[in-house]
Amino acid sequence: MIVMSREYDLKPAPSDEGASAIATGKSLINRRQFLSYGFNTVSGVLAASLGVLGFASLLLPPAGSGGGDLAAKYWAKGREDEAWYGPMHEQVMKKSDFVAEAAKSSTGTSGASGVWNGVPIIVTYVDHSKNAGSPVSNGKARFQFMDGYDGTGKYVGHFEDLSDADPRLLPNENLVMIFGRCTHLCCIPGWQLVSNDYTEDTWTPGGGDDGGTKLFCICHSSRFDPTALEMNTNTNRSNGSKFRYAGIRRSGGPAPVGLPIIPIAMNGDFIEGLPDYVDWYTYCD
Ligand code: FES
């Protein structure tokens, strides 16, 4: 049985006027407050360590149109002329954009960095519906539901142990969204942010470190396979409590475990995140 806490201990950002209650000593916020403060408190916290990426600008109203308050938005600051989603920087993510980009891929995948409620995310599209019935030897990517092992190698459970309890954790419309903070030292991994053997447009089954199509953290070269979905465990940095989560597999590098999933819902063509698992994003300050 999964026990979900209703309040989440997030480090306050003293400069955020909206977080005054938190700054005066109340450090626990609930899900509604998380949404209200998402573009203030949480992005303010992130701005301290992510200033180079210009997260302060997230305090501005997002550009683009469509989608609700929970909409995921592209983030391509500094890569506007380079990333395929560069021209859509700060616009709401649309499934059709990912499908069109995946059609150019030999593996049937596409991915993009973004922001959701003030936190960094990465959304990956995998043409699972089309590829799942074909032999894995053809290199066409598909989702894999897998056993999970913690940083010590101990078995912790299977992805479906969690997705059976909450099917919203399953890929929705061939899309998976994850919280974009590395479990090593909290840098932001990227989708083909750099070009190397790990990020090239190739795919192999098993969630191993061979093949490409990996999310890559440029800080210390951790790799994550967005097609390999597992259960794992991590620690709330504020209070030390352990939590189980559904995530994508860490395939290599110093990161101890993989990155947690943010379940999504479709609003027409727009991609929206669900705020049900905020406690999964507490392993960074
Ligand atoms: S912070 Fe990602 S590999 Fe070190």
pLDDT tens digits for range 63-114: 444 567 899 999 999 999 999 999 999 999 999 999 999 999 999 999 999 9
For the chain, the average pLDDT equals 82
For 241-272, the pLDDT digits (tens) are: 999 999 999 999 999 999 999 999 999 999 99
Q: Determine whether the shortest distance from the Cβ of 255 to ligand 1 is under 6 A.
A: yes
Check residue 66 and give its pLDDT. Answer: 57
Which numbered atom of ligand 1 lies nearest the CA of 182? 2
Q: How far is the CA of 85 from the centre of ligand 1 (A)?
A: 24
- The ligand 1 atom nearest the CA atom of 187: 1
- Report the separation in Å between the CA atom of 183 and the middle of ligand 1, taken as the mean of its atom positions: 7
Percent of the chain at pLDDT exceeding 70: 76
- CA of 194 relative to ligand 1 center, distance in Å: 14
The pLDDT score that the predictor gives to residue 51 is 34
For residue 222, give the ligand 1 atom closest to its CA.
3
Identify whether the C-beta of residue 115 lies closer than 8 Å to the C-beta of residue 77.
Answer: no
Non-local (6+) Cβ contacts of 115 within 8 A are 43, 58, 72, 73, 75, 121
User: 10 Å Cβ neighbour count for 82?
Assistant: 10
Query: At 285, is the pLDDT very low, low, confident or very high (cuts 50, 70, 90)?
Result: confident
Closest ligand 1 atom to 186 CA: 1
pLDDT at 133 exceeding the cut of 50:
yes
Q: Inform me whether the pLDDT recorded for 60 exceeds 70.
A: no
Nearest CA to ligand 1 atom 3: 220
Q: What is the pLDDT of residue 69?
A: 80
Distance CA 194, CA 221 (A): 11
Instruction: Give residue 58's pLDDT.
Output: 40
> Kind of pairing, strands 190-191 and 175-179?
unpaired
Strand 144-149 to 222-235 pairing: parallel
Output the residue whose Cα is nearest ligand 1's atom 1: 185
Q: Which two tokens stand for residue 282?
A: 């507490």
Are the beta carbons of 282 and 240 closer than 8 angstroms?
no
The residues, ordered by sequence, that sit 6+ positions from 271 with a Cβ below 8 Å of its Cβ are 67, 71, 72, 92, 93, 94, 95, 123, 175, 177, 264
Which is more confident, 227 or 24? 227
The residue whose CB lies within 8 Å of the most ligand 1 atoms, and thus the one to mutate among 185, 194, 216, 285, is 185
Q: Is 254 in the pocket of ligand 1 (CB under 6 A)?
A: yes
Query: Which value, to the nearest 10 degrees, does the dihedral of the CA atoms of residues 134, 139, 141, 142 take?
Result: 40
Phi-psi sector, 29: left (phi>0), alpha (psi -120 to 50), beta: beta
Mean pLDDT value of segment 181-191: 95
Which pLDDT score, from 0 to 100, does residue 206 have? Answer: 95
185: Cβ below 6 Å to ligand 1? yes
Which pLDDT band holds residue 193 (cuts at 50, 70, 90)?
confident
**What per-residue confidence (pLDDT) applies to 164?**
97
User: Taking a C-beta distance cutoff of 8 angstroms, is the pair 162, 255 a contact?
Assistant: no
In angstroms, the CA 185 to CA 71 distance is 27
Higher per-residue confidence, 19 vs 94: 94
What percent of the chain has pLDDT above 90? 71
